[in-house]
Amino acid sequence: MGLKVYVDGKLVSKDDAKISVFDHGLLYGDGVFEGIRTYDGLIFKLKEHIDRLYQSAHSIMLEVPMSKKDLIDAVKQTLRANKLKNAYIRLIVTRGVGDLGLDPRRCQKPSIIIITDKIALYPEKFYKQGMEIITVPTRRNIPEALNPQIKSLNYLNNILAKIEAINAGVEEAIMLNSEGYVAECTGDNIFIVKRGTLLTPPVYIGSLRGITRDVIFDLAKAIKIPVREEILTRHDLFNADECFLTGTAAEAIPVVKIDGRKIGDGKPGKITLKLIHKFHRLTKVNGERY
């Protein structure tokens, strides 16, 4: 049986999962999304992801045409149809079909799409050895223009930075904000460890309040590792004792070199590895079964 995709209330084959060329999600990136993970039949942090989806939609005045409960049921239905125990879920709400103008009032009905499949964001070796990343010229959108707290379908800002990383021969890139402070990576939040304290940029700098980011906060506090938000520069990153990235798809991954500078001793750090271990244990017991 081929992969099934949920499109506006129906489960259809992957090849038949289509939207109109007049959908404003396609024409203008007018819509919102969430990426969610499942581990051995448990959906990790489902409520938090669903809540954030509705918050993103509310901010762009997009009314999700389903209740949270019905949407959760649809996610579970799609997972069961594809017989997936360990999966990545892409949940999408578009503005819907309209005309060639920008006016969202021309879109009569939003569309809901649920894709459940596998994902491997980075090669496995980087999780064991750590990865090298760079800073790129493309700056993060300023919150006053397009707030990073809104997970919109318009990801071109991130994609341009990703292209620069790829052209430089690395997998990920650090994006600075308009003032030159560290914001986040193209798809992940960034953490450093300095003198035993865990630091990450505050969200008002231009970073997403990542759900995995919040999990790391909680795990660090539970094992008495001091953690705080702090404005960071590239100099702070270069001179960190440890560094790692977090995200739903990436989970948590060590960084051992930034812009050619070795971080710490050039190997994944002890605190990083401890938090990654705690995170993996949590995913095995924390989640909603389907």
Structure tokens that stand for 137 in this block: 């010229």
Structure tokens that stand for 210 in this block: 């990542």
Cα 269 to chain center, whole Å? Answer: 23
Q: Is 257 a catalytic residue?
A: no
The b-or-e profile of 67-101 (16+ CB within 10 A means b, else e) is: eeeebbebbbbbbeebebeebbbbbbbbbbbbeee
DSSP per residue, 168-203 = TT-S-EEEE-TTS-EEEESSSEEEEEETTEEEE--G
Using CB atoms within 10 A of its CB, is residue 122 exposed (0-12), middle (13-18) or buried (19+)? middle
Compute the distance between CA of residue 227 and CA of residue 231 in angstroms, rounded to an integer. Answer: 13
**Catalytic residue of the set 151, 162, 274, 284:** 151
Amino acid at 26: L
Compute the distance between CA of residue 186 and CA of residue 157 in angstroms, rounded to an integer. Answer: 8
Q: Residue 152 forms beta bridges with which residues?
A: 32
Q: Report residue 119: phi and psi, to 5°.
A: -145, 140
Three-class DSSP category at 115:
strand
Which residues carry out catalysis? 151
